[in-house]
Amino acid sequence: MHEVGLAQETLDLAVATATQQQAREIRCLRIEVGQLSGVVVEALRFALETLAAGTMAAAATMEIEEIVARAYCVACGEAFDAMAQAYRCPQCGAICPDLVQGRELRLVSVEVI
Ligand SMILES: [Zn+2]
């Protein structure tokens, strides 16, 4: 379960950010997870909540948003939903394996008090 490692990294980053801001407590973590990142959102949420116990983020709300995988066509410049179109450009029919988003796991913001 690699969600545990990712959750730990994300939590460490959030705590470091909050410490830098001289916060007492973390109220909310906002995280974006790509549809094709291989991360199971519920497993990530569970890992975050478990690891957060006893830290500044113990009472934090974990807001996890799933980001749709989008591909970009180098032939015509179209960006489209990679999963829905099976990587085939709806404009020109080219196969576009390059994703512009959908594989990321990103800590978007940390709300502190
Ligand atoms: Zn195209």
User: How many angstroms does the Cα of residue 76 sit away from the middle of ligand 1?
Assistant: 4
User: How many angstroms does the Cα of residue 67 sit away from the middle of ligand 1?
Assistant: 22
User: How many angstroms does the Cα of residue 97 sit away from the middle of ligand 1?
Assistant: 12
User: How many angstroms does the Cα of residue 89 sit away from the middle of ligand 1?
Assistant: 5
Kindly provide the b/e burial profile for residues 10-41, where b requires at least 16 CB atoms within 10 angstroms of the residue's own CB: bbeebbebbeeeebeebebbbbbbbbbbebeb
User: How many angstroms does the Cα of residue 24 sit away from the middle of ligand 1?
Assistant: 50
Q: What is the mean pLDDT of residues 36-62?
A: 97
The reply to whether the predicted model has a pTM over 0.75 is: yes
pLDDT digits (tens, 9 = 90+) for 83-104: 999 999 999 999 999 999 999 9
User: How many angstroms does the Cα of residue 66 sit away from the middle of ligand 1?
Assistant: 25
* Share of residues in the chain with pLDDT > 90 (%): 97
List of domains in the chain: 3-68+101-112 (3.30.2320.50)
- Taking a C-beta distance cutoff of 8 angstroms, is the pair 33, 107 a contact? no
